[in-house]
Protein backbone atom coordinates (compact mmCIF):
# COMPACT_ATOMS: atom_id res chain seq x y z
CA UNK A 1 0.00 0.00 0.00
CA UNK A 2 3.00 2.24 -0.56
CA UNK A 3 3.38 3.06 3.13
CA UNK A 4 -0.22 4.23 3.60
CA UNK A 5 -1.62 2.92 6.86
CA UNK A 6 -4.97 1.19 6.80
CA UNK A 7 -7.73 2.83 8.79
CA UNK A 8 -8.07 0.77 11.98
CA UNK A 9 -11.84 0.74 12.28
CA UNK A 10 -12.39 -0.03 8.60
CA UNK A 11 -14.20 -3.30 7.90
CA UNK A 12 -15.57 -6.00 10.14
CA UNK A 13 -14.33 -9.24 11.62
CA UNK A 14 -16.38 -12.43 11.33
CA UNK A 15 -15.95 -15.62 13.34
CA UNK A 16 -16.80 -18.19 10.66
CA UNK A 17 -16.86 -18.74 6.91
CA UNK A 18 -20.66 -18.70 7.01
CA UNK A 19 -20.66 -15.30 8.66
CA UNK A 20 -18.17 -13.99 6.08
CA UNK A 21 -20.38 -15.27 3.25
CA UNK A 22 -23.47 -13.63 4.78
CA UNK A 23 -21.68 -10.30 5.33
CA UNK A 24 -20.20 -10.15 1.83
CA UNK A 25 -23.50 -11.12 0.22
CA UNK A 26 -25.38 -8.46 2.23
CA UNK A 27 -22.95 -5.58 1.63
CA UNK A 28 -22.62 -4.51 -2.00
CA UNK A 29 -19.01 -3.87 -2.96
CA UNK A 30 -17.54 -5.77 -0.02
CA UNK A 31 -14.57 -8.09 -0.37
CA UNK A 32 -13.15 -10.85 1.79
CA UNK A 33 -11.36 -14.18 1.78
CA UNK A 34 -12.92 -17.64 1.99
CA UNK A 35 -11.03 -20.92 1.94
CA UNK A 36 -11.21 -22.97 -1.26
CA UNK A 37 -12.83 -25.77 0.73
CA UNK A 38 -15.78 -23.48 1.48
CA UNK A 39 -16.42 -22.52 -2.15
CA UNK A 40 -19.21 -24.96 -2.93
CA UNK A 41 -21.41 -24.50 -6.00
CA UNK A 42 -24.04 -22.87 -3.74
CA UNK A 43 -21.53 -20.36 -2.35
CA UNK A 44 -20.15 -19.65 -5.83
CA UNK A 45 -23.73 -18.86 -6.92
CA UNK A 46 -24.07 -16.26 -4.15
CA UNK A 47 -20.74 -14.47 -4.53
CA UNK A 48 -18.47 -13.11 -7.24
CA UNK A 49 -15.29 -15.17 -6.92
CA UNK A 50 -12.32 -13.10 -8.06
CA UNK A 51 -9.51 -14.33 -10.25
CA UNK A 52 -5.97 -13.03 -9.84
CA UNK A 53 -4.36 -12.05 -13.16
CA UNK A 54 -7.26 -13.89 -14.85
CA UNK A 55 -6.39 -17.15 -13.01
CA UNK A 56 -9.29 -18.68 -11.09
CA UNK A 57 -9.02 -20.02 -7.53
CA UNK A 58 -9.25 -23.71 -8.44
CA UNK A 59 -7.44 -26.82 -7.26
CA UNK A 60 -5.55 -27.33 -10.53
CA UNK A 61 -4.33 -23.73 -10.59
CA UNK A 62 -3.17 -23.90 -6.98
CA UNK A 63 -1.32 -27.18 -7.50
CA UNK A 64 0.40 -25.86 -10.63
CA UNK A 65 1.30 -22.63 -8.78
CA UNK A 66 -0.59 -20.49 -11.32
CA UNK A 67 -2.89 -19.13 -8.60
CA UNK A 68 -0.68 -17.28 -6.10
CA UNK A 69 -2.92 -16.77 -3.06
CA UNK A 70 -3.33 -19.88 -0.92
CA UNK A 71 -1.97 -21.38 2.27
CA UNK A 72 -1.41 -24.70 3.98
CA UNK A 73 -3.53 -25.81 6.89
CA UNK A 74 -1.42 -26.60 9.95
CA UNK A 75 -1.40 -29.03 12.87
CA UNK A 76 0.72 -28.09 15.85
CA UNK A 77 2.07 -30.24 18.64
CA UNK A 78 4.03 -29.46 21.76
CA UNK A 79 7.27 -31.15 20.82
CA UNK A 80 7.56 -34.04 18.37
CA UNK A 81 4.32 -35.93 17.86
CA UNK A 82 4.16 -39.36 19.52
CA UNK A 83 1.74 -42.22 20.00
CA UNK A 84 -1.90 -41.41 19.09
CA UNK A 85 -1.06 -37.86 18.06
CA UNK A 86 1.56 -39.08 15.59
CA UNK A 87 -0.82 -41.78 14.31
CA UNK A 88 -3.52 -39.14 13.74
CA UNK A 89 -1.20 -36.79 11.84
CA UNK A 90 0.18 -39.68 9.79
CA UNK A 91 -3.38 -40.73 8.90
CA UNK A 92 -4.45 -37.18 8.00
CA UNK A 93 -1.58 -36.91 5.49
CA UNK A 94 -1.80 -40.49 4.19
CA UNK A 95 -2.97 -41.72 0.80
CA UNK A 96 -5.59 -43.74 2.74
CA UNK A 97 -7.26 -40.46 3.75
CA UNK A 98 -6.80 -38.65 0.40
CA UNK A 99 -10.36 -39.24 -0.86
CA UNK A 100 -11.89 -37.86 2.36
CA UNK A 101 -9.66 -34.77 2.21
CA UNK A 102 -10.71 -34.12 -1.40
CA UNK A 103 -14.39 -34.71 -0.62
CA UNK A 104 -14.18 -31.97 2.03
CA UNK A 105 -12.81 -29.56 -0.59
CA UNK A 106 -9.19 -29.55 0.52
CA UNK A 107 -6.10 -30.33 -1.53
CA UNK A 108 -4.18 -33.37 -0.23
CA UNK A 109 -0.56 -32.66 0.73
CA UNK A 110 0.57 -35.39 -1.67
CA UNK A 111 -0.75 -33.25 -4.58
CA UNK A 112 1.34 -30.23 -3.59
CA UNK A 113 4.85 -30.09 -4.99
- 87-110 pLDDT per residue, tens: 999 999 999 999 999 999 899 988
Q: Is the dihedral of CA 17, 44, 56, 26 positive or negative?
A: negative
How far does Cα 86 stand from its chain's mean position? Answer: 24
pLDDT value for 4:
86
pLDDT score of 11 more than 70: yes
Give per-residue pLDDT as tens, 30-58: 889 888 888 888 988 889 888 999 999 99
Q: What is the mean pLDDT of the chain?
A: 90
Q: How far is it, in rounded angstroms, from Cα 83 to Cα 73?
A: 22
pLDDT over 80 (residue 69): yes
Amino acid sequence: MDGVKEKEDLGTVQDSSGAVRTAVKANKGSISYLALSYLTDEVKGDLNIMAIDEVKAEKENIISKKYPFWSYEHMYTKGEAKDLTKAFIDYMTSSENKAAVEKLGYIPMSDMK
